[in-house]
Amino acid sequence: MTLNDTLDLGPLRLPFWLLAALLAALALKFTLQFALKGAEGSAKVWEDRVWTGGLIGFALWKLSPVFTSWDTVVKEPLSLLYLPGNLAGLVVGLVAALAWLGWRFFRNPTKERRLVLPALAWGGASVVATMVAVMGLLALVPKPEPVSTLEIPGTTALVLPNLDGQKVELLKAPGKVLIVNFWATWCPPCRAEIPGLVAFWNQADRSKVELRAVDLLTSERDPDQVIPFVQDQGMTFPVLLDERGLAAQAFQIESIPTTLVFAPDGTLVDRHVGVITGEKLAALVQQYGR
């Protein structure tokens, strides 16, 4: 397992990276309190400053899609709630947070700097140690074995209509990596995800990959709006209609968007709940494609 996986608590899904960040924050808090013991005023001041730096870094990371997915954000401003930040945003956020802390540090008298510097060093070490420990524990958890579609009841014979009414075998994509994305027009994270899917499909090597979007038609408030929505979003990949919810039931789709990735031999190799990026899809195709 990795930091990108999730801990499922009923309907609540918590990414491990968030749990790791919370544990690291607690470790930092207690380390600063211990290292600055006897200087309660400094401990509280620097605890607040570290939290402020963390919030600055997190905000810049979370807002980074504004620069990489501007069209999506303009069309769907709420997509910022669902789109993950990117690596560039993470780097900028870390630099900004450290710059903030450095600025606050050097504004203090030399005597206080000598007191605070070791505490900050120990605090940073506790954060690194916590993250390494969490990643080490996750690495010990065995990954689930890939599942053949033959072992999932009711999936091999799934046939769904496309927008033209033609019947399509959902899992038939011989020799290709098959990506099946479950979505609906009313779903905000689905709407945030679509531009990334469109960009991925436009750049994909279609001799190696097949992308099919399965609309959960039983959940649509107005099924007649599906076709205009698809056209407006430029979704040129096949869109299929799960008219009776059979596909969602067969794959136990509990929330959307959910993306399933199948290797060319039909094995289910990845299940992603929530917004998935084109970068991750491209990496999966490269990993499992022939």
Distances (CA, A) of 213 to 54, 106, 118, 246: 38, 54, 54, 15
For residues 10 and 134, membership in a common domain is answered with yes
| Highest mean pLDDT: which range of 14-18, 149-153, 155-159, 215-219 | 215-219
- What is the tens place of the pLDDT at every residue in 153-212? 556 678 999 999 999 999 999 899 999 999 999 998 899 899 889 989 999 999 999 999
pTM: 0.74
For residues 94 and 12, membership in a common domain is answered with yes
For residues 131 and 152, membership in a common domain is answered with no
For residues 40 and 99, membership in a common domain is answered with yes
Question: Is 41 inside any structural domain?
Answer: yes
Which of 92, 123, 140 represents a domain boundary (last residue)?
140
What is the pLDDT at residue 14?
A: 62
| Highest mean pLDDT: which range of 129-143, 144-158, 219-233, 264-278 | 219-233
- What is the tens place of the pLDDT at every residue in 124-141? 888 888 888 877 877 776
For residues 29 and 120, membership in a common domain is answered with yes
For residues 184 and 247, membership in a common domain is answered with yes
Rounded to the nearest 10 degrees, the angle between the axes of helix 40-62 and helix 110-140 is 50
Q: What percent of the chain has pLDDT over 70?
A: 88
Question: Is 1 inside any structural domain?
Answer: no
For 72-107, b where at least 16 C-beta lie within 10 A, e where not — what string?
A: bbeebeebbebbbbbeebeebbeebbeebbeebeee
What is the pLDDT at residue 110?
A: 79
Q: Range of 179's domain?
A: 147-288
Give the closest residue to 241 by CA, choosing from 251, 254, 231, 227. 227
Which of 140, 160, 175 represents a domain boundary (last residue)?
140
Q: d(Cα 270, Cα 282) in Å, to the nearest integer?
A: 13
Q: d(Cα 55, Cα 61) in Å, to the nearest integer?
A: 10
| Helix, coil or strand: residue 255 | coil
Question: Is 62 inside any structural domain?
Answer: yes
Number of domains within the chain: 2
pLDDT band for 217, please (50, 70, 90 cuts).
Answer: very high
| Helix, coil or strand: residue 92 | helix
For residues 154 and 276, membership in a common domain is answered with yes
For residues 127 and 154, membership in a common domain is answered with no
